């Protein structure tokens, strides 16, 4: 896993992914106490950065292997990313999803053309299910984060941030990334190490699901006690990956931890000030910039909004925080 | 008023406005029965395209005149655009706003630093109020649409659309534009006439406030009967402008008329599929693409989302259309 793989993936993504802008608002800067630059990957195809990694993985596969189809397990964003990348490559896909995933994500994944298999997040092991079905049907598993080509694809976000920060004259800043298994976080960290060494990544996670923050503190991989109970479904994973964690350990700063209530407030600010739709997990980094300002250094902070796939009733809850 | 003014304004906007992307979604294409490309000017500074015209107008002014300050009358989006352009030029601004404008727009305009003067949309004449205060304080009036430099600034949206359509290989399409007084619509029409003659503009308006559609049919300027009663506040104006109408008459196709309920549904689809926040008036063009498909020709349609400054309770109403 290295920067050359990220640059190669970035070239394969050319013309297929959206190059998302950096947004800002003086109203958000005021709350955060510094300038906040927002990378809205909710505007990416399928509504999250996951399409980048999925495209990178499928485009790197041997054509004969790819033609047999792919399988993925995901709470929804990786699901949609893989489903669309498979559709655009003209190959079948099977997606294994927790049965408590947001309805929107399940419906979208089906509508894109994937076969969706649901499982119980509390009692069943998604890796085991994915591996079994994949073997039965000759499908290649596209892991959500612990997979070099997927990390390389997500790293393209970091290449864009490096360029956009340079265009703004920003040479030193913290870059807060919504962090589940660490694919986006490690990809961005590797890209910034190469192209913008003054930019340091900080992972953002929800309270009670701060496996990465705890792992960074202890120096070894720590697991979450449970997989249910947060509205930030997009960034809940059991533990940092075997490939992602060493990268995180080497390159990123201490984790930032936010509450579900703060994620909802950040969604409301993104609605009100940036005019973009963030899902709870996708708003974790913005929430950290807004509500953990004493734990952040410098005049500029860059945050990802990693996804926007949220049901209307959850979004209505976020809007209520404005009144 | 000509293309050279638009190109000159576009150069002055460089580095100051956001170049908004073109978004799309297979789900929206399916409803519309053709490919729909969305230009989300809700992502522009201040949440609407109006900042373009405001910046163009202020940057074209004689510096001594500009230093005395500017005045504008607006339901909210032009207000914020002028207030921010004035602030960034370091000059004072007074904004005359209807007292029934969305609270968000009034609050934002004040927060940006403008002095806000409220008036009654049903009984008072905003032009008269603006002219009087401007004369008293030596301020220059920045009209919302019937002003060549403002039209030139809005026309930059058309230059971007021409380039983006060319990049997509689209040489023939209808371009539906949310239309109030016709500043954005005429600016885009002039830009496309020069740079993408196969693209034809269609204005979109709310039912009962279709002064432009009726004026295009009759060939002369027609007024709206009332100025209140639509949720599409951003695109309600008494009649097409003296400068904008001849341009519209020469260049644009028949007007498209949508209902408030359809605007709300279009907002919901923009939330669900594009992850952007549209205000009711800003969703009129998307509503036309979704719900007036028999009145539109061709495989591709391009629509503007002209703004996203909507209060949370109105947005919640839009979300309810999804259930």
Q: What mean pLDDT, rounded, does chain A reach? A: 95
Is there a contact between B106 and B116 (Cβ–Cβ < 8 Å)? Answer: yes
List per-residue pLDDT tens for chain B, 323 residues long.
Answer: 899 999 999 999 999 999 999 999 999 999 999 999 999 999 999 999 999 999 999 999 999 999 999 999 887 899 999 999 999 999 999 999 988 888 888 888 999 999 999 999 889 888 888 888 989 999 999 999 999 999 999 999 999 999 999 999 999 999 999 999 999 999 999 999 999 999 999 999 999 999 999 999 999 999 999 888 899 988 998 999 999 999 999 999 999 999 999 999 999 999 999 999 999 999 999 999 999 999 999 999 999 999 999 999 999 999 999 98
User: Could you give the CA distance from residue B73 to residue A104 in angstroms, rounded to a whole number?
Assistant: 41
The residue of chain B with its CA nearest to that of A84 is: B26
Give which of B81, B102, B275 to mutate to test A binding, by max A Cβ within 10 Å: B275
Q: Which residues of A touch B281 (CB under 8 A)?
A: none
Q: Which fold has domain B3-49+148-320?
A: Rossmann fold (3.40.50)
DSSP B121: T
Q: Tell me, what's the pLDDT at B30?
A: 95
DSSP string computed for A170-208:
--SEEEEEE-SSSHHHHHHHHHHHHH-TTEEEEEEEETT
Q: Return the axis-axis angle of helices B50-60 and B3-13, rounded to nearest 10°.
A: 90
Residues 247-286 of A with CB under 8 A from B: 268, 271-272, 274-277
Name residue B115's beta-bridge partners: B94
Least CB-CB distance to B312: which of A104, A277, A323?
A323
Q: What is the pTM of this model?
A: 0.95
Q: Tell me, what's the pLDDT at A298?
A: 97
Which residues in chain A are classed under CATH 3.40.50.1100?
A: 3-48+148-320, 50-141
CA distance, residue B5 to nearest chain A CA (Å)? 27
CA distance, residue A282 to nearest chain B CA (Å)? 12
B21 touches A: beta carbon within 8 Å: yes
Using 50, 70 and 90 to split pLDDT, how confident is the model at A228?
A: confident
Which residues in chain B are classed under CATH 3.40.50.1100?
A: 3-49+148-320, 50-141
Q: Tell me, what's the pLDDT at B311?
A: 93
Q: Tell me, what's the pLDDT at A323?
A: 80
Phi-psi region of A129 (alpha: psi -120 to 50; beta: other; left: phi over 0): alpha
How many A×B Cβ pairs under 8 Å?
A: 69
Query: Is the Cβ pair B21, A26 closer than 8 Å?
Result: no
Structural domain B50-141, CATH architecture:
3-Layer(aba) Sandwich (3.40)
Q: B64-107, pLDDT tens digit by residue? A: 999 999 999 887 899 999 999 999 999 999 999 988 888 888 88
The yes or no reply on domain A3-48+148-320 and CATH 3.40.50.1100 is: yes
Is there a contact between B197 and B205 (Cβ–Cβ < 8 Å)? Answer: no
CA distance, residue B105 to nearest chain A CA (Å)? 11
CA distance, residue B260 to nearest chain A CA (Å)? 20
Q: Read off the tokens for A286.
A: 């913005």
Query: Is the Cβ pair B275, A23 closer than 8 Å?
Result: no
Query: Is the Cβ pair B276, A111 closer than 8 Å?
Result: no
Using 50, 70 and 90 to split pLDDT, how confident is the model at A299?
A: very high
As a whole number, mean pLDDT of residues A74-88 equals 92
Q: Which residues of B touch A27 (CB under 8 A)?
A: 108, 111
Using 50, 70 and 90 to split pLDDT, how confident is the model at A102?
A: confident
Using 50, 70 and 90 to split pLDDT, how confident is the model at A89?
A: very high
DSSP B228: -
pLDDT of A75 over the 80 cut: no
Q: Tell me, what's the pLDDT at B167?
A: 96
Give which of A105, A275, A316, A319 to mutate to test B binding, by max B Cβ within 10 Å: A275
Q: What is the ipTM of this complex?
A: 0.95
User: Could you give the CA distance from residue B71 to residue B48 in angstroms, rounded to a whole number?
Assistant: 19
pLDDT of A271 over the 90 cut: yes
Query: Is the Cβ pair B322, A315 closer than 8 Å?
Result: no
CA distances from A83 to A113, A149, A306 (A): 7, 16, 18
Is there a contact between A96 and A133 (Cβ–Cβ < 8 Å)? Answer: yes
Q: A251-267, pLDDT tens digit by residue? A: 999 999 999 999 999 99
Q: A109-152, pLDDT tens digit by residue? A: 999 999 999 999 889 888 888 888 989 999 999 999 999 999 99
């Amino acid at each position: 896993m290295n920067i050359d793989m990220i640059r190669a993936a970035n070239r394969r993504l050319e013309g297929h992914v959206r190059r998302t802008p950096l947004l800002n608002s003086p109203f958000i800067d005021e709350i955060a106490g510094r300038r906040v630059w927002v990378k809205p990957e909710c505007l990416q195809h399928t509504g999250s950065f996951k399409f980048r990694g999925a495209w990178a993985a499928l485009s790197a596969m041997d054509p004969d292997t790819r033609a047999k189809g792919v399988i993925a397990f995901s709470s929804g964003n990786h699901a949609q990313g893989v489903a669309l990348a498979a559709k655009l490559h003209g190959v079948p896909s099977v997606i294994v999803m927790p049965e408590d995933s947001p309805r929107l994500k399940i419906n979208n994944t089906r509508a894109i053309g994937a076969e969706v298999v649901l499982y119980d997040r509390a009692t069943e092991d998604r890796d085991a299910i994915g591996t079994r079905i994949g073997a039965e049907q000759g499908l290649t598993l596209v892991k959500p984060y612990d997979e070099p080509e997927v990390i390389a694809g997500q790293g393209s976000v970091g290449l864009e941030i490096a360029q956009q920060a340079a265009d703004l004259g920003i040479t030193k800043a913290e870059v807060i990334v919504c962090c589940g298994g660490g694919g986006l976080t490690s990809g961005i960290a590797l890209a910034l190490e190469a192209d913008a060494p003054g930019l340091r990544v900080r992972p953002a996670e929800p309270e009670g699901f701060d496996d990465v923050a705890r792992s960074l503190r202890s120096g070894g991989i720590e697991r979450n006690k449970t997989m249910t109970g947060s509205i930030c479904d997009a960034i809940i994973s059991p533990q940092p990956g075997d490939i992602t964690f060493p990268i995180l350990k080497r390159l990123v700063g201490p984790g930032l931890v936010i509450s579900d209530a703060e994620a909802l407030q950040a969604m409301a600010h993104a609605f009100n000030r940036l005019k973009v739709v963030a899902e709870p997990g996708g708003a974790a980094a913005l929430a950290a910039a807004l509500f953990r300002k004493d734990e952040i250094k410098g005049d500029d902070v860059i945050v990802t909004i990693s996804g926007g796939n949220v049901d209307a009733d959850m979004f209505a809850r976020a809007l209520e925080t404005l009144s």
